Amino acid sequence: MAGTRAAIRYAKAVLSLALSEKKEDAVDKDMKAIAKAIAESEDLRSMLGNAVVKSETKKVALLAVFPKLNSITNGLLDVLISNKRIDILNDVTVKYSELLDVHNGKETAQVTTAVPLTKALETKVLAKVKELTSKTVELENIVDESIIGGFILRVGDKQYDASIANNLNKLKREFTLN
């Protein structure tokens, strides 16, 4: 929890600086690249979280992996290393992208379906989501065969469950209560 709060504070500071220098998109590109690399590399994750590895070694490794970072992103790495908080780098990168989306009025809607969305269904879901929110919405399709059919839509803190599995569970509860 404390790491998350710190990550939010660092992300807000970086976003503020990036907005003032009009480099928010370049920094976001760096943040997404770093987050992707950390997610895909067990070695990078363990190195960043390892207290035995010296901060300067971590910095050298990060600069070797990401040689062409924006000056603001490089500054973030320097600050995290000097404050001995480099272990929260992944959280900072994720929070930065979330905060930038909020600043730009973007929101991600997650649609869980049993099969991948077709373009026609994606268009219908986007139209429905735009009725619910005034923000620009990107769809993220998650395929989960266990819902059998239908869909589960999550926009922000709202969830609409129209899955076959959910309806079957409702029927099951109804029959067991009677």
CATH code assigned at 9: 1.10.520.20
117 and 84 inside one domain: no
Please give the model's pTM, rounded to 2 decimal places.
0.70
Is residue 109 domain-shared with residue 87, that is, in the same domain?
no
Same domain, 20 and 67: yes
> Does 94 share its domain with 139?
no
Query: Which residues constitute the domain of residue 57?
Result: 2-102
Domain boundary among 74, 102, 130: 102
Distance, CA of 42 to CA of 65 (rounded, Å):
14
Instruction: Indicate whether 13 and 97 sit together in one domain.
Output: yes
Are 20 and 82 members of one domain? yes
Question: In the chain, how many domains are there?
Answer: 2
Per-residue tens of pLDDT for the chain, all 178 residues: 456 899 999 999 999 999 999 999 999 999 999 999 999 999 999 999 898 999 889 989 999 999 999 999 999 999 999 998 999 999 999 999 989 988 998 888 888 988 998 888 888 888 878 777 777 888 889 999 999 888 888 887 788 888 888 888 898 888 887 6
